[in-house]
Amino acid sequence: MKHRNARHEDAKSRRERLWNERQNYFTTKMQPETRIVTRPSTGLPPSKHEAQASKSAISENSGPHFRTEMQLQLAALQSLQRVQTARKKELIEHKSIEMAKQLRQQRNEDALKKNSKMAVKRLRNWNEKQKLEEESELAYLLQNIKPAAEAVHLAQLLSSRWKDVGKEGGGFKSCIPQHSRQEMRVQFLLDNQRIGAFYP
C-alpha cells in the first residue's frame, strides 16, 4: 500500500508539474516579456494562482490606458500648448474687437468734424449771401430814391456802411420804370416809418 501511495503521489506531482509548465509556456508565448520567477524555497515555477496574479498585474501595466512617465510629460506639454494657443487666439480676437471699435469711433468723430465744418461753411456762405442780398437791395434803393435826405436817412437806418452817403447833397436819378413793381416797393419802404420794414 505504501508503495502504491508513493507512486500515486509521484504521478500527481508530475501531473501538476506538467500542467504548470504548459501554463507557463502559453503565458510566455502570449507575452514574451514575462519572466517566470521560480520560488526560492522549492526551485519550482510559481503556482497557477501566482501566475494568474502576475499576468493580471502585467496586463494592467501594459493595458490601453497605461502611460509611461514620458508619455505623461508629453501629454502635459501638449495640454499646456493647447491652453496657450487658446489664450493667444482669445487675445487676438479681443485686440481685433478693440481695434474695430476704435476705428468705428474715429470714423464717427471724423464724420462729425467734417459735418460740423460743412455746417459752419454753409452758415457762413448763407450769411454772406444774405449780406450781399441786403447790400444789393440797399444799393438798389439808394439808386432809385429821388429825395436824397430820405435816402440817407434810410441808409443810416439799414446799414452802418452808408452813413456818409449823400453828404454832398447830390440828387439820385431813378433808373426803374414808372408804375412798376420795383417803384411800388421803393415807395412802400419810403412811406413806412418802421425800422424793420426793409426786411421782407
pLDDT in tens, 124-136: 888 888 888 888 8
Q: Is the dihedral of CA 8, 13, 17, 22 positive or negative?
A: positive
Write down the pLDDT at residue 196: 52
Asked if pLDDT for residue 96 goes beyond 80, the answer is yes
Determine how many CB atoms are found less than 10 A away from the CB of residue 11: 10
State the SS3 of the chain: CHHHHHHHHHHHHHHHHHHHHHHHHHHHHHCCCCCCCCCCCCCCCCCHHHHHHHHHHHHHHCCCCCCCHHHHHHHHHHHHHHHHHHHHHHHHHHHHHHHHHHHHHHHHHHHHHHHHHHHHHHHHHHHHHHHHHHHHHHHHHHHHCCCHHHHHHHHHHHCHHHCCCCCCCCCCCCCCCCCCHHHHHHHHHHHCCCHHHHCC
Is the pLDDT at 112 greater than 70, yes or no?
Answer: yes
How far apart are the C-alpha atoms of 190 and 174, rounded to whole Å? 14
**What is the average per-residue pLDDT within 175-194?**
68
pLDDT for residue 130 = 86
Alpha carbons 33 and 28: distance in angstroms, whole number: 7
More confident of the two residues 27 and 65: 27
The pLDDT tens digits of the residues spanning 62-83 come to 555 667 888 888 888 888 999 9
pTM for the model: 0.28
Per-residue pLDDT, 87: 92
49: nearest Cα among 8, 28, 19, 9 = 19
Q: Is the pLDDT of residue 155 over 50?
A: yes
Mean pLDDT for the chain?
Answer: 71
Cell matching residue 79: 495640454
Could you tell me the residue ranges of all domains in the chain?
A: 2-66, 72-198
| pLDDT value of position 174 | 52
pLDDT tier for residue 149 given thresholds of 50, 70 and 90 = low
114 or 198, which is more confident?
114
